[in-house]
Amino acid sequence: MLLLAGDAIACLTDGAIPGHVINTYCWIKTTFTLPHAMGSRVGTEVAHPGVANHLHDPDRVRHHAYYQWVPFMLFFQGILFYVPHWVWKNWEEGKIRHLTEGLRGATVMVGQEREARQSRVVQYIVDTLHRHNVYASGYYLCEVFNFVNVIANMFLVDAFLGGTFMTYGTEVLKFSGQTQEERTDPMVAIFPRVTKCTFHKYGPSGTIQTHDALCILALNILNEKIYIFLWFWFIALAVVSGLALVYSTAIVLLPSIRETILIRRFRFGTPAGVTALIRKTQVGDFLLLHLLGQNMNMMVFGELLDELSKRLHLGNNIPTAPSTMELSPIYPSAKLRLHMETEA
């Protein structure tokens, strides 16, 4: 990153302070800008946006210390977003991967080996019926955690940047639509490229000398782009996570939603037959079936539901939908058997 943007900080003084000393001091002590000078005209009223004489009003300054912690903050946020994934993987323990082994996508097995594996999955579902509610609770809690995590990260970054992050994206969009004369770049206000730093030292006679320095923060060119991306990314994640949470809540509370998913998404069965299957199972059982359907070949999943209905003694209420009987060209022998049964 330093190769792209230069030194992290480079300060300019009157020459009385060695360069490495003033750079180190201002990096540790933090620099500052003057908010009231952000909209001033550069070159005539101020030297740079936010850089002006502050001796008459030393309290109206904004200190910038975040640039020291940006890498650590981003790393910490990465950990926060990984935690829900880690929790679910440890909770789930690879159950779906083991159950769908050899029954996924184009790698699905053929012949008796596939039928045997499919039968074992159905037998597992029957043997563990009504025992997956704790499993479903973990899944739902992780959905809640995902949503809360996004919202919490937005407030965390807002506090980190001094209460400027919540409106950062809207200010940038407003800035892009303004004319050149009216523009005041919000990215420069939050991530200034040039700031001020004051260094005090004793002179030859023992009096305190004040040295005013201008500091260039080259890394802020990257920081401003990182956080504008994060602003839009957090908004998108909040919307997607919120919709996923609403979807999961509807599945838990409304059996009719589960029926609709089986009929329309997986194209299985008739309304009456699917209703019988949903009544026979609980939320945890449906979640297991839902995850299996997402990870299995569609034709195989339709056969699995058909066999499960027979094992649960639901009778012939759930005939397989015509679309699920259209077999892939990978299974010519299965298609031949279906043709022979129809002729018989």
pLDDT tens, position by position, 22-61: 888 888 888 888 877 776 777 767 777 778 776 555 567 7
Tell how far CA 3 is from the center of its chain. 29
pLDDT at 107: 57
132 located within any domain: yes
pLDDT at 100: 82
pLDDT at 54: 64
Pick from 150, 114, 293, 131: which is nearest to 231 by CA?
A: 150
The whole-chain average pLDDT of the chain stands at 79
Give the other-Cβ count within 10 Å of 139's Cβ: 18
Tokens at 95, concatenated: 């159950």
Residue 116, helix vs strand vs coil:
helix
pLDDT at 55: 57
Owner of token pair 């504008």: 228
Give the other-Cβ count within 10 Å of 30's Cβ: 15
Bridge pairing between strands 62-64 and 31-33: antiparallel
128 located within any domain: yes
pLDDT at 147: 95
Q: How far apart are CA 226 and CA 230, in angstroms?
A: 6
122 located within any domain: yes
Q: How far apart are CA 124 and CA 29, in angstroms?
A: 64
pLDDT at 73: 92
327 located within any domain: yes
pLDDT band at 329 (very low <50, low <70, confident <90, very high): very low
In sequence order, what E strands does the chain have?
Answer: 10-12, 31-33, 62-64, 194-202, 208-216
Q: Supply the pTM of this predicted model.
A: 0.75
Owner of token pair 């997607």: 240
Please say whether the dihedral angle defined by the alpha carbons of residues 277, 280, 282 and 288, taken in this order, is positive or negative.
negative
35 located within any domain: no
pLDDT at 183: 57
Q: How far apart are CA 13 and CA 211, in angstroms?
A: 7
Owner of token pair 């009929």: 263
DSSP sequence for 261-281: IIIIIS--S-HHHHHHHHHHS
pLDDT digits over 229-276, tens only? 999 999 999 999 999 999 999 988 888 888 888 888 777 766 777 888
pLDDT at 229: 93
pLDDT digits over 83-102, tens only? 999 999 999 888 888 888 87
Average confidence (pLDDT) over 319-328: 39
Tokens at 61, concatenated: 């300054």
> What single letter denotes the amino acid at residue 323?
S
Domain that holds residue 130: 76-150+241-343
Tokens at 32, concatenated: 């500052």
Pick from 285, 304, 324, 319: which is nearest to 103 by CA?
A: 304
Give the other-Cβ count within 10 Å of 195's Cβ: 27
pLDDT digits over 184-211, tens only? 667 777 888 888 888 888 888 888 888 8
pLDDT digits over 61-74, tens only? 787 777 788 889 99
Please count the structural domains in the chain: 1
27 located within any domain: no
pLDDT at 6: 59
pLDDT digits over 123-175, tens only? 998 998 889 899 999 999 999 999 999 999 999 999 988 888 888 888 888 77
Q: How far apart are CA 9 and CA 31, in angstroms?
A: 10
Q: How far apart are CA 67 and CA 29, in angstroms?
A: 12
pLDDT at 106: 58
Residues with Cβ within 8 Å of residue 47, at least 6 apart in sequence: 194, 214
Residue 31 backbone class (left: φ over 0; alpha: ψ -120 to 50; beta: rest): beta
Look at residue 181 and tell me whether its pLDDT is greater than 70: no
Q: How far apart are CA 139 and CA 40, in angstroms?
A: 53
Average confidence (pLDDT) over 295-309: 82
Q: How far apart are CA 49 and CA 189, in angstroms?
A: 8
Which of the given ranges, 37-41, 299-303, 318-322, has the highest pLDDT on average?
Answer: 299-303
